[in-house]
Structure 1
Amino acid sequence: MSHATTRAPFKARADAALADRTLKLAIDRTTGTAEAKRAAALSAFPEFEAARARGKAIKDHVIAHLDHYLEEFERNAIASGARVHWAADDAEARAIVTRICLEADARLVTRAKSMLGEEIGLPHALADAGIERVETDLAEHIIQLAGEAPSHIIWPAMHRTREQVADLFRTGHHPPPAAEDPASMVQSARRELRAKFLGADVGISGANFLVADTGATCTVTNEGNAELTTTPPRIHIVTAGIEKLVPSTAHAFALLRLLVRSATGGEMTQYTTFHCGPKRPGDADGPEEMHIVLVDNGRSRMLADEFRAMLRCIRCGACMNHCVVYRQIGGHAYGGTYPGPMGAVLTPVLDGLAAARDLPHACTMNGRCAEVCPVGIPLPTLLRAWRARSWREGREPGAVRAGLSLWARLATRPRLYRLASRIGVRGLRLFGRGGWIARLPLAGGWTAHRDLPRPEGRTFMEQYRAWQARKGAGR
């Protein structure tokens, strides 16, 4: 769901994020821990590369036969007693979910964390329908109290420090937490949410996987909130993108081995639950109705273009945790549902390139996101594809087009290029102090937040020729 027209431009959001020292502290705490835990998990999992190759093959197979597996899933889900709904876009998905809630005369809805729900604008739709929504994931509970959107797909409240969370709980919880330590605050949230779990009319969840041969949906959490969201209410609604399909439970577990290690550095989450239809005669608990809303929202278009590989994504968040840009500005600066490298690819699909052109250009192309992706998505290649499309459609500012045109003229004239390089390198040295350049004309957007290393004084080719000469003289 696009909010691009009401948001400040990306550069303004990024500038604000870079100026927020508390934000940087919060991001460093979480992404640094996530990076270290992932590295430890992979060092204890020597089969990772083989598992990654299998995961990529599973996703590619499903994408190539998506129509077959969608029909198989629908058939088996209906056989299990679930009702399957199809949504072509975010508006249709919102309408389906709100209609189910209104027809059930639902006054209170609990929701387990789901980025697909955020993508289709479900929180706003429920509010517009006059339905009370309670987020049950602890991090989502925090940002609901703060009136914010998620800043990360795994840790939605990672931009908030413990001290800030304590302030939110003091005002939002009745009674407030007994103390500000994590255990007291978790206990306060548990007390606050318990009555909501038991009093909800409808529970809404996402799905990490849709299992075609059983019609089951799979949720993965560490808090148990998904089970309390999907089991006590009389109606359970699942919203899921059509790309979440896997052929069988065995394939789901193959991908779970990758998902959990890449997301949190664990071997398995605390709760991995497969939901297969509503409550049956003799069951002790469970919903009376189960609805599954399968959402396209641009995914079919991706099947036919250069962004097809993005449909492999299992939403682990590893690309964000290792992204040098995300770790400086956080998730909100990206302005869409999905932040980081994967968001820079997906947001132009969801919101249109005109609204999201800056995101692919914010990437440094260092390639770390592709290195850590558990299903081998070539994210830098996809970001370059958006840049190329932006150029073809004439969306680049005039100054950028003029600058690249000048560079192209130099690059196609080797002698002129070498001369300009020599002049440029020597000229840059004039702005350096103590080995660094703190200010540079026409580069204020860069030097406002970081210093440039002062050049050596010679171009790479000059240094290379000198090295060759020394090497030849030493023979």
Structure 2
Amino acid sequence: MQTSVISFHDRAQAALDDPTLKIAIDRTTGNAEKKRAAAVAAFPQFEAARDLGQRIKDHVVAHLDHYLLEFERNATASGAKVHWAATAEEASRIVVDLCKQANAKRVTRVKSMLGEEIGLPHALDEAGFERYETDLAEHIVQLAGDRPSHIIWPSMHRTREQVSALFKQSHQQPHSEETIEAMVESARRELRDKFLSADVAISGANFLLADTGATCTVTNEGNAELTTSPPRVHIVTAGIEKLVPSLSHAFAMLRLLVRSATGAEVTQYTTFHCGPRRPDDLDGPEEFHIVLVDNGRSKMLADASLREMLRCIRCGACMNHCVVFRQLGGHAYGGTYPGPMGAVLTPVLDGLEKSRDLAHACTLNGKCQEVCPVKIPLPTLLRGWRDRSWRDGLEPTTTRIGLGLFTFVASRPWLYRLGQGLALRAMRLFGRNGWISSMPGLGAWTRHRDFPVSETSSFMAQYQRRKGQSS
């Protein structure tokens, strides 16, 4: 996975210039925020569940070597074949080789951000396989030649009107009614044959159960079950941090994942896969492979400033509540993972030099940490990347000069107050009806929205005045 060569500034500008994108983002994230709030309000034990989830993940991370070996031992005992991949390239190569060994022509894939992280769709296409994404949103992304823009709703950047036009252009039997139900039925007709005729199925895993060697997937469409049952070979790709000790721990995490991701109590389908088909099984694959992927996770484990990010269960709540993501969408972040969690992960995956802007694309308001089901201190981790970027000399010269000037002024109160007073007066000169639509120095802000006219005096001046009045 590579960060886009287009700068973050240019990607953000393109997103802000797209009014249709804002409509699509608001429809999805606004609904997700409301549903999550309702689900949490209906679950009084949610905070206690968060504490438990944090403890489970911290325990696994602290004993990751033990649980990895236990998982491998039990998965192998169930008949699965476990493969280890240190890098994204190695993981993709293993999957492609397994498909070739199976003499596969057609491959179906269940949505997996780990698959996107290791560049698997591109690798399968380059190897000449017929690849079909079976999640409705990923099907949309594939038809449009897009990249996922959200880890739960990959096609959230497209409105239903755009999807309708795409299906009419691409499907053999497109819908005739402009309803969501009709569009879903059109996708079902298009994909049904692909499900039943695939040679290899590839899925991700929400959790890996160490005590049984089973993998767990949660979906709302049922496509995971239909994808993974008919083919001869089932390949699971999963990050090594997905481990939980046992089934009971998995269900404790599921209570957090589902409410945080979609605002539901439970997903429609929660499926556990444990080894290939047995003689008395009615269906299932003849071969079951699990590819365990590191790709920077060991580096995070060894770095105390990043270790807490390994708790992440990929629910997407942080981005649904992020004021920046809700203005820009996911593609502006440039990497596989968008939003606050992506701003932390992308420098690990692609290097800080290529993605240092992401840590600065944050207001540090703390909403992401507030809604994180496993209490990851995302603002603290983002500040850590900012500090590291400064120490490594990656910040532009203009930024360093600007901060030097600010330090000079801020360390001299009389000069700071003088400059503040002049700025307040200047802002009022440009104000109209309480708003500033254009002003030198505020161009980046006022290009897309107005800036509120400042108060007539500074906060400290008002504070001192009110303090004097009350004494």
TM-score in same-fold range (> 0.5) = yes
1:66 equivalenced with 2:64 (yes/no): yes
Quote the residue 1:300 is aligned against: 298
| Structure-1 separation of matches of 2:439 and 2:86 | 49
| Structure-2 separation of matches of 1:315 and 1:87 | 20
Name the TM-score, length of structure 1 as normaliser. 0.98
| Structure-2 separation of matches of 1:459 and 1:310 | 39
Q: Provide the secondary structure at the position in 1 that maps to 2:275.
A: coil
Quote the residue 1:160 is aligned against: 158
Q: Is the 8 A contact 1:426 1:458 kept in 2?
A: no
For 2:288, give the aligned amino acid. Answer: M
Structure 1 residue ranges (4+ consecutive) displaced by more than 4 angstroms after TM superposition: none
Residue 442 of structure 1, CA deviation: 2.4
| Structure-2 separation of matches of 1:106 and 1:268 | 35
1:215 equivalenced with 2:213 (yes/no): yes
Q: Is the 8 A contact 1:325 1:363 kept in 2?
A: yes
- Describe the superposition over 1:396-436 as per-residue Cα deviations: whole angstroms up to 9, x where unpaired: 11111111111112222233323322232233222211111
| Structure-1 separation of matches of 2:412 and 2:297 | 43
Quote the residue 1:144 is aligned against: 142
Q: Is the 8 A contact 2:352 2:389 kept in 1?
A: yes
More moved, 303-312 vs 251-260: 303-312
Quote the residue 2:132 is aligned against: 134
- Describe the superposition over 1:281-303 as per-residue Cα deviations: whole angstroms up to 9, x where unpaired: 11111000000000000011011
- Describe the superposition over 1:249-301 as per-residue Cα deviations: whole angstroms up to 9, x where unpaired: 10110010000000000000000001011101111110000000000000110
Query: Matches of residues 97-108 of structure 1 in structure 2 within 5 Å?
Result: 97-108=95-106
| Structure-1 separation of matches of 2:93 and 2:196 | 26
| Structure-2 separation of matches of 1:437 and 1:302 | 44
Q: Provide the secondary structure at the position in 1 that maps to 2:266.
A: coil
Query: Matches of residues 308-323 of structure 1 in structure 2 within 5 Å?
Result: 308-323=307-322
For 2:323, give the aligned amino acid. Answer: V
Q: Is the 8 A contact 1:70 1:245 kept in 2?
A: yes
| Structure-1 separation of matches of 2:378 and 2:423 | 32
| Structure-2 separation of matches of 1:247 and 1:418 | 58
Quote the residue 2:424 is aligned against: 425
For 1:195, give the aligned amino acid. Answer: D
| Structure-1 separation of matches of 2:329 and 2:90 | 30
- Describe the superposition over 1:96-119 as per-residue Cα deviations: whole angstroms up to 9, x where unpaired: 000000111100000000000000
Q: Is the 8 A contact 2:277 2:283 kept in 1?
A: yes
| Structure-1 separation of matches of 2:431 and 2:384 | 36
1:24 equivalenced with 2:35 (yes/no): no
| Structure-1 separation of matches of 2:61 and 2:414 | 49
Quote the residue 2:333 is aligned against: 334
| Structure-1 separation of matches of 2:271 and 2:432 | 59
Q: Is the 8 A contact 2:173 2:189 kept in 1?
A: no
Q: Is the 8 A contact 2:195 2:227 kept in 1?
A: yes
More moved, 447-456 vs 234-243: 447-456
| Structure-2 separation of matches of 1:411 and 1:375 | 38
Query: Matches of residues 68-87 of structure 1 in structure 2 within 5 Å?
Result: 68-87=66-85
Q: Is the 8 A contact 2:343 2:359 kept in 1?
A: yes
Quote the residue 1:390 is aligned against: 389
Unaligned runs of 5+ in 1: none
Residue 27 of structure 1, CA deviation: 0.6
Residue 177 of structure 1, CA deviation: 1.6
| Structure-2 separation of matches of 1:62 and 1:451 | 48
Quote the residue 1:2 is aligned against: 2
Quote the residue 1:466 is aligned against: 465
Quote the residue 1:12 is aligned against: 10
Q: Provide the secondary structure at the position in 2 that maps to 1:184.
A: helix
Name the TM-score, length of structure 2 as normaliser. 0.98
Unaligned runs of 5+ in 2: none
Quote the residue 1:367 is aligned against: 366
Q: Is the 8 A contact 2:3 2:355 kept in 1?
A: no
1:249 equivalenced with 2:247 (yes/no): yes
Quote the residue 1:287 is aligned against: 285
* Equivalenced residues, count: 470
Q: Provide the secondary structure at the position in 1 that maps to 2:430.
A: coil
Quote the residue 1:89 is aligned against: 87
For 2:270, give the aligned amino acid. Answer: T
Q: Provide the secondary structure at the position in 2 that maps to 1:400.
A: helix
